[in-house]
Amino acid sequence: MKEFITISELSTLMNVSVHQIRYFEEKEILFPAYTDSNKYRMYGIPEIYQLSHILLLRKLNVPVVEIKECMASFSPDDYHQLLSNSLKKVQSQMDQLIMLQQFMQKIVKEHDEFASPENHYQIKLMEDRHLKQWIRYEIQHNLNARNLYENRPKLPDLFEADLHYIYDSNQINLCYEVTAPSDILLEKGNYLYKHLLVSSEQDIEDEFRQLEHYLMQHQDMEPGQIILLEKSYLSMFNNHKLHYEIQVRIS
DNA sequence: GTTCTGACA
DNA sequence: TGTCAGCA
């Protein structure tokens, strides 16, 4: 019976592990042509085709347990349906990966920008931004975990977004950006801004003092509300420090 | 030397 | 899914 091959020969031919072939047998989807007197499994051409079929279905993400049903009863239409479902899943995985790619590109780009001249004021033109209010609190009361929990918005991946702290007299309005018009509109215009790396509350207070001082020296700027953006995801670049951007609209 | 079964992570 | 032991 020289024309039949052993399990290791089949595994070499088909690029799968011996273990995997035995596993397919355990799941009753691939049997040897016969078992030799030494109990060795022996395989012929039909088994090679059968294994190809199984591997193709595996490639289409069909679980091994379902392959059994497929091969027992599937019509061409069933296979067509199977393939289009598999295609949909792949498409959605690709969509997710593209989102992930864009998010990573955004982080890298922002980090590059952040790495450029720190510690001085610049001006940039910003488009309209729509913000949703999250929590409003007195400036002297710090945020705590319970505040955040009890007022949690229905937004996934909240800390991947830029958090906006809008300073409004003695209150702080914590907001996050949304696409559609919402509670607060930050109007298009020129904004004075500066990047900060912060390790304590004190750093932020110092920064505010510096900004006020700067604005005093530039009376023509007619500043609006001061906005502090927390770049949550950029903070992973520096342990124990948070990345912020301080912004103020100017005329 | 190769494969078998069974067990384990 | 890979790896190992113990056996034939």
CATH code (residue A224)? 3.20.80.10
Quick: pLDDT tens for A122-144. Answer: 889 999 999 988 888 888 888 88
Count structural domains, chain A: 2
CB of A55 nearer than 7 A to strand C: no
* Residue A159 scores a pLDDT above 80: no
Does A39 fall in a domain? yes
Q: Tell me what the pLDDT averaged over chain A comes to.
A: 87
The Cβ of residue A56 has, within 10 Å, a number of other Cβ atoms equal to 11
A137 and A19 in a single domain? The answer is no
Does A112 fall in a domain? no
CB of A23 nearer than 7 A to strand C: yes
Average pLDDT over residues A176-183: 86
Vertex A117: Cα angle to A113 and A119 (nearest 5) = 115
CB of A17 nearer than 7 A to strand C: yes
Percent of chain A topping pLDDT 90: 29
A53 and A124 in a single domain? The answer is no
Nucleotide nearest to A26 (CA to C1'): B5
Q: Residue A15 CA to C5 C1' — how many Å? A: 26
Does A80 fall in a domain? no
- How much is the pLDDT for A149? 84
CATH code (residue A39)? 1.10.1660.10
- How much is the pLDDT for A1? 54
A138 and A221 in a single domain? The answer is yes
Nucleotide nearest to A10 (CA to C1'): B3
Nucleotides of C under 7 A from a protein CB: 1-3
A66 and A143 in a single domain? The answer is no
A126 and A213 in a single domain? The answer is yes
A231 and A130 in a single domain? The answer is yes
- How much is the pLDDT for A227? 92
CB of A41 nearer than 7 A to strand B: yes
Q: Which domain holds residue A190?
A: 117-250
Nucleotide nearest to A16 (CA to C1'): C1
